[in-house]
Structure 1
Amino acid sequence: MSRPRPLAVRRPRRPWRLAAEGGALLLAAAVAFPLYWMVLSAFKPAGEVQSAAPRPWTLQPSLDAFRRVFQQQDFGRYFLNSLFVAGVVVVASALIAFLAATAVTRFRFRFRTTLLIMFLIAQMVPVEALTIPLFFLLRDAGHIAPGIGLNTLGSLILPHLAFSLPFAIWMLRGFVRAVPEALEEAAYLDGASRTRFLWQILFPLVLPGLVATSVFSFISTWNDFLFAKSFIISATENSTLPMALLVFFKPDENDWGGIMAASTVMTLPVLVFFVLVQRRLVSGLGGAVKD
């Protein structure tokens, strides 16, 4: 007969650990409160939203703000434009960053260090400082390639792709470097070509890093307002979802319920994307690569 296992003795938590957990809960509550207030305001009736004494609850939830949002004629088109732009930027930046990170990590060539430093410097330049030069650049580029000129979705894809790549390449360098070179040599001895090793062996190993960079690219592209306002001037059919918020800003009185409802709808795809990739995102941020 097997002996019964002794009961595990539960050790009391140390005071510093309780303080750390309490601080983490307070920080999480502070971060989550604006999201809670946004969703709450979206479900409040118009009278409660504009009340001089706001309350952190509502006893009469309403869907009127959401109805006003979905009754906007171009809201669905803006949503699809945002989804298309963000999807193209995520896929393109992930593939280009993977190939670039592999090149600067596995190969030795002239100006390699200079190129990496340029990637780092590109991250230090504020986006606002480059908006006007990008405007004139895209305006002139539209005469050569109309698909990337102003008032097109290409004028949103290219800038976001350019700003996402430096961060993605720097992050993926660590993942590619963590893959031992002995694994690459063993694959070549087994007859694998460089292309096969790249996509069938190296790519799955750095996939957590790709997911982490994809989250950054998706969020920055999806929530962009500056580029959408600056580069889409007259072709409103190519506007993205953040531009739909401008409909609820009125000269006489702003529709705060509609603004909060539209913001809630905008947040849902980000949450869904995060839930789908959360497991790989945790390992990606931790920099873990299994041999």
Structure 2
Amino acid sequence: MKKNVRKLSFFEKIAAYAVLIFFSLFSIYPILVVFSISLRPGDRLLSKSLAIIPPDFTFQSYVDLFVNQPFLRWMFNSLVVSISVTIFAVVLAATAGYAFSRFKFKGRDASMIGLITTQMFPVTMLLLPLFIIMIRLGFYDSYWGLIIAYAATALPFTVWQMKGYYDTIPYSLEEAATIDGASQFTTFYKIILPLALPALAITSLFSFMTAWSEYLVAAVLIQDKDFFTLPLGLKMFSSNMEVAWGLYSAGAIVVSIPVVLLFLSLSRWLISGLTLGSVKT
């Protein structure tokens, strides 16, 4: 039997909290370093000072990022693509996962194996097929090219994740609703989906992050600077000869904010979604 944290002795609690604090600081420190670099004047990467806030700090990098660089355009492009991918992935994963969980049809097992098999190959293997497909569809250098590519990348995991969660919901709930005269769609929409909110939260977060921070696929499918997303735009701050460390660091800090806000807004459902929690009645 595992010990309950509330029953730990005083010294065991001290040791547990010390370990947690250590690893928390270990995780946060790189972010603080990046923030510190963004406050340094010029493009200084190295400094003798260990202070997080430099004595001669300045917010000029942030001002230049929003005023002198097309950063807002890159952010708009990323938001359009990421939100679209999230909507498509949530809708398709919610319905496909339900179909795999509740219905038996020819090719069901083969389809599920095919979905999970795609996760075994690196993204680099998909670049050439995606490139050819998007050109033939006329979606190269467009929002639709990125949306389709990212949604296709996110769906295998999200479909399996939703299917696993639906499996934990008793089928007796649907049988009771059917006896009461509810249609299949009404049962799914009004009974199953509300119970699956934790899994939908995980699906939303994973889909958004897949599109928000991806660089490699975007670098292949997008050449027009008007459609550059944030990863492509931030890459412009570096070259073979020099890197604008101030702008690069400031951009990295700003880019992380939407993901953190999304994580905090969904944190209510994340733990139960990750552990495929129990059914609420």
Q: 1:152 to 1:11 in 2, by over 3 A?
A: closer
Aligned to 1:246: 235
Aligned to 1:42: 38
Q: 1:21 to 1:124 in 2, by over 3 A?
A: farther
Q: 1:56 to 1:113 in 2, by over 3 A?
A: farther
TM-score, reference length from structure 1: 0.88
Q: 1:110 to 1:37 in 2, by over 3 A?
A: same
Structural mapping, 1:1-291, within 5 Å: 12-13=9-10, 15=12, 18-46=14-42, 49-51=44-46, 53=48, 55-57=50-52, 58-142=54-138, 149-233=139-223, 235-288=224-277, 289-291=279-281
The superposition leaves residues 61-99 of structure 1 with CA deviations (integer Å, 9 ceiling, x where unpaired) of: 210110111123422111111001000111110110010
Greater displacement, 101-110 / 52-61: 52-61
Q: 1:62 to 1:73 in 2, by over 3 A?
A: closer
> Contact 2:37–2:45 (CA<8 Å) still a contact in 1?
no
Greater displacement, 133-142 / 76-85: 133-142
Aligned to 1:6: none
Q: Unmatched 5+ residue regions in structure 2? A: 1-6
SS of structure 1 residue aligned to 2:142:
coil
| Structure 1 residue identity aligned to 2:45 | Q
Greater displacement, 66-75 / 189-198: 66-75
SS of structure 2 residue aligned to 1:277:
helix
Larger Rg: 1
| Structure 2 residue identity aligned to 1:156 | L
Q: 1:189 to 1:40 in 2, by over 3 A?
A: same
Q: CA deviation at 1:196?
A: 0.6
Question: RMSD in angstroms over aligned alpha carbons?
Answer: 2.0
The superposition leaves residues 227-271 of structure 1 with CA deviations (integer Å, 9 ceiling, x where unpaired) of: 2211112x2111111122133224543210110001111111111
TM-score, reference length from structure 2: 0.91
Fraction of identical pairs, as percent: 30
